[in-house]
Structure 1
């Protein structure tokens, strides 16, 4: 069963995604960093900045859709579901 995160959990998740995205973006230009990440993670980091941007945007959109779906399954109004997201966007 999918559980909605509280506001702090959502903020931490967004921060983690931003850090990982920027780390992967930096690794494209920094061969030492890329090699270190590949050794530690045992993966090959491929793809352009645009690819990683699209991938992270798609993940964010999917998480938003899951949050909305879970709220609707609990019979919450859309305005209540979206309130924390709108609050963060308007505060930025």
Structure 2
């Protein structure tokens, strides 16, 4: 069973409903994985959709898990990597 903590996320309520429905589908055995909102081939948005983006300084290449990842627009995630050289310019932020 998955647990959705919406207190840390800042996403539209429609996307929270989408994620709750995806969690329900996995719990009932109708699906094996969660899908992210607006990421289908039939999506009407250009460069739209969401990705799981790691916090700055806590990238997966530095050994951090998806516990430190949040939903972020695909365009913003690409811009983040453009300016931080795909995480190489960020120093490691230790967990307190």
TM-score, length basis structure 1: 0.26
Which structure features the higher share of helix residues? 1
Between the two structures, name the one with larger relative contact order (CA 8 Å, sep ≥ 6): 1
Which structure features the higher share of strand residues? 2
TM-score, length basis structure 2: 0.25
